[in-house]
Amino acid sequence: MYRPTSLITLLLLCAQFVLAQSTYILNGAAQQKSCNCYQLTADAGNQSGTAWNRNKINLTNSFVYTFDVNLGCKDQNGADGIAFILQTQGTSLGATGQGIGFAGVSPSVGIIIDTWQNNNENDPPYDHVGIQMNGVSDHASPNNLAGPVAASPASDNIEDCQWHIFKISWDAVAMVIDVEIDGVNRVTLQKDIVADIFNGDPNVFWGFAGSTGGSSNVQQFCAALRPQFAAGQSVFCEGTPVQLYDNSSSFGSITRWFWDLGDGSTFTVKDPPIHNYAPGVYKVKLVIQDNSGCISDTLNQTVTVGTYPVVDFTDPPLICEDNSITFTDLSTTRVGTINRWAWDFGNGGTSTRPTSTVTYNNAGNYTVALTVTTIEGCSSSDSKVMEVAPSPSVSAIRSAANCLGATTFLSAENLSPLIPFNRWIWDLGNGDTTYEKDPIYTYPAGGNYVAKAFLESDKGCLSLPAPVDVRIVDVNAYAGRDTLIAIGQPLQLNGSGSTTFTWSPADGLSNPYIANPVAILSADQTYILTSTSPDGCMDRDTINIKAYKGPEFWVPSGFTPNNDGINDMFKPIAAGIPALDYLRIFDRWGGEVFYTRQLSVGWDGTRNGKPLPIGTYIWAISGKDYLGNPVSRKGTITLIR
């Protein structure tokens, strides 16, 4: 075991030495950025960079190479991509533009991540990966060995500023190349590349190439050096020993480890021994070093060792048969987060939600059990016995359809006489409530109502409602507004109500048994309209008709607009004159102070909203009688305040 500062200092010194002793031969724009990371191109046009490993590989041996690649941050104008290349031509190769440093290199195998659509090379519109040979990147040519497919398994764009795992596997026995990006297989090639491409020579150079043209991006790769750890169990609870083990990925072999378990314990072995944590949240750190001397970034990952939950849930004071009841989890845990629930309601019902609703169809005692589990895998259970009280059962009837103003008789029956009860409740359907078993009620308005009867048990459980439909017929007879006519003038009556009508008396009516007869009068008359519904419901209304000699305008000689509700408006009466041409009022100097063409509009003694003084004013009125003949009159009116 080493102290953390001593190990990190030593690793940094090693890294500085290794940085100076790069394992790659760099060409063009390529730069070494850190011990294990290289930039092939900057974000500049017409660049080419290659990085070739100093040591050839023998393809009669299988290999698995894992890299991190970053294709830059520019999606729309980013270009052109990078390629992993096997070739026999040397370590000073590379080209700019759409060839991605692969163009013209032959013999070769290139695994190309292409981020620019070149139509002349039959590129798809998305960032793609494929396997090509002999320096030709046209996907329609015979040199296209596999793909193209989308480079990212999650998106059409891989120029997303993110590092992506680029894993290349060669199975020398099966002669299969597998390419994975971010853990997902993208392309596979089965081919004897030694015989078919490299003319039987298994020893090849390998490395990366990248290029830009008119568009550009920063393009980088790293020999993978990713610290990662996993746990040997799924439960992280107090009293449970924790086994952590190294799960890092590296291009080369990992030679050194430094663990900080977050509670003061440190280790320098591959897998630290089983560890006993007290409940709490710990930041575990891991640093690795590979056989080339490169040191990884520090992995910081949280490990939570939780406590077992204390289970509790709502305990409803009353559960009634056939009524829904909601149970809510009230469990707590000192360390950790509850994220799973398992309810057993004792009636065959279950649920996995923190709040759940259940209906018990039979009275009795039920054991409700709840098990909760935290994200850390800590589980606890508890149960409670719940009493489900019986609910009464009722039925209800009503009297036949009723007329407005008549009494409605409602009646309920207790269908569960063995259950003690407190009271009856009737919801009458119009907002009114009564507590009688058989209420007698008069509805104040016509309409269709649904009255509901309930019975409340001695424990407070309500029965299911027993509904009855109640229809209250409102005939609402209407004979029309009181009016006046000229003697001998035909008056069209417009009654309304239900289906049958009777006008009384029948004097002067064209037909007393229809809704809209015509009346011709020689004197004042009051008619009574009676309307009857098919149910036998009846209603009456009256209309008073004043008969004047005419056609004529009846105009008062004065009025008092003092807002006392008496004679506040100057409004002529038009007998036998249904249409008004005008009513005009003038002051004594001939100035117009009021004008209207509506019989219903009168003068209130103002001009433009301001009261006029006491005095005499001139009026002029004109209209047409019911035969269309003009009728005009003039006169004076005295305004008195």
Per-residue pLDDT tens over the stretch 84-100: 999 998 887 765 545 78
Is 126 buried (19+), middle (13-18) or exposed (0-12) by CB count in 10 A?
A: middle
What is the arithmetic mean of pLDDT over 538-563? 90
Let me know if residue 10 belongs to a domain: no
Residue 402 contacts by C-beta under 8 Å, 6 or more apart in sequence? 408, 443, 470, 471, 472, 473
- Reported as a single tens digit per residue, the pLDDT across 577-616 is 888 999 999 999 999 999 999 988 999 999 999 999 999 9
Compare 579 and 452 and report the one with higher pLDDT: 452
Please give the helix or strand (H or E) that residue 372 lies within, else none.
strand 364-374
The DSSP secondary structure of 117-147, one letter per residue, reads: --GGGT--SS-EEEEEETT---TTSTTEEEE
What is the arithmetic mean of pLDDT over 137-155? 94
Quote the pLDDT of residue 75: 87
CB 229 within 8 A of CB 299: yes
Same domain, 286 and 379: no
Nearest 5°: the CA angle 337, 342, 343 is 125
535 vs 524: CA distance, rounded Å: 35
Same domain, 259 and 203: no
Same domain, 122 and 218: yes
CB 102 within 8 A of CB 135: yes
Residue 3 has pLDDT above 70, yes or no: no
Quote the pLDDT of residue 101: 83
Which of 420, 345, 335 lies closest to 378, judged by CA? 335
Let me know if residue 367 belongs to a domain: yes
Let me know if residue 23 belongs to a domain: no
604: domain CATH number is: 2.60.40
CB 519 within 8 A of CB 490: yes
**DSSP 3-state of 603:** strand
Let me know if residue 18 belongs to a domain: no
* Cα 601 from chain centre: 55
Which of 95, 135, 137, 132 lies closest to 116, judged by CA? 137
Residue 281 belongs to domain spanning: 225-298
Let me know if residue 312 belongs to a domain: no
366: domain CATH number is: 2.60.40.10
Residue 5 has pLDDT above 70, yes or no: no
* Backbone region of residue 317 per phi and psi (left: phi > 0; alpha: psi in -120 to 50; beta: other values): alpha
Residue 7 has pLDDT above 50, yes or no: no
Which of 478, 426, 423 lies closest to 456, judged by CA? 423
What is the arithmetic mean of pLDDT over 365-379? 96
Let me know if residue 14 belongs to a domain: no
Compare 594 and 626 and report the one with higher pLDDT: 594
Same domain, 360 and 408: no
CB 76 within 8 A of CB 33: no
Residue 148 has pLDDT above 60, yes or no: yes
Residue-level length of the chain: 641
- Reported as a single tens digit per residue, the pLDDT across 482-538 is 988 888 889 999 999 999 999 999 999 999 999 999 999 999 999 999 999 998 999
Same domain, 187 and 127: yes
Burial state string for 87-111 with b = 16 or more CB within 10 A and e = fewer than 16: bbeebebbbbbbbbbbbebebbbbb
Please give the helix or strand (H or E) that residue 6 lies within, else none.
helix 4-20
Quote the pLDDT of residue 4: 38
Residue 29 DSSP symbol: T
Least confident of 379-388, 413-422, 518-527, 551-560: 551-560
List the beta bridge partners of residue 440.
409
Q: Are strands 280-290 and 355-359 parallel, antiparallel or unpaired?
A: unpaired
Quote the pLDDT of residue 98: 57
Domain final residue pick, 548, 570, 602: 548
Same domain, 82 and 211: yes
616 vs 593: CA distance, rounded Å: 12
Residue 548: how many other CB atoms lie within 10 Å: 17
Quote the pLDDT of residue 1: 32
Mean pLDDT of the chain: 91
389 vs 325: CA distance, rounded Å: 12
Same domain, 240 and 102: no
Domain final residue pick, 174, 199, 223: 223
Same domain, 544 and 570: no
Q: Are strands 610-611 and 483-486 parallel, antiparallel or unpaired?
A: unpaired
Tokens of residue 405, six digits: 């103003």
Domain final residue pick, 526, 548, 570: 548
CB 169 within 8 A of CB 177: yes
Tokens of residue 619, six digits: 């009026």
Let me know if residue 210 belongs to a domain: yes
Same domain, 538 and 417: no
What is the arithmetic mean of pLDDT over 212-231? 91
Beta strands in 458-591 (DSSP E): 466-473, 483-486, 490-492, 500-504, 518-520, 525-532, 538-548, 552-554, 558-559, 573-575, 579-586
Residue 28 has pLDDT above 80, yes or no: yes
Same domain, 100 and 215: yes
Same domain, 43 and 94: yes
Using the structure block, give the residue that is written with the tokens 């590379």: 94
CB 333 within 8 A of CB 309: yes
Task: Give residue 348's pLDDT band: very low, low, confident or very high (50, 70, 90).
Answer: very high
584 vs 606: CA distance, rounded Å: 13
Task: Give residue 401's pLDDT band: very low, low, confident or very high (50, 70, 90).
Answer: low
Let me know if residue 53 belongs to a domain: yes
Quote the pLDDT of residue 344: 97
Task: Give residue 123's pLDDT band: very low, low, confident or very high (50, 70, 90).
Answer: very high
Residue 417 has pLDDT above 60, yes or no: yes
Burial state string for 600-612 with b = 16 or more CB within 10 A and e = fewer than 16: eebbbbeeeeeeb
The pTM assigned to this predicted structure is 0.57
* Cα 566 from chain centre: 63
235 vs 72: CA distance, rounded Å: 40
Same domain, 280 and 234: yes
Domain count, the chain: 6
Task: Give residue 18's pLDDT band: very low, low, confident or very high (50, 70, 90).
Answer: very low
List the beta bridge partners of residue 398.
410
Kindly tell me the number of DSSP H helices and DSSP E strands found in the chain: 2, 53
Quote the pLDDT of residue 600: 87
Give the count of alpha carbons within 13 A of 224, CB side only.
22
- Reported as a single tens digit per residue, the pLDDT across 241-300 is 999 999 998 887 899 999 999 999 999 999 999 999 999 999 999 999 988 788 988 999
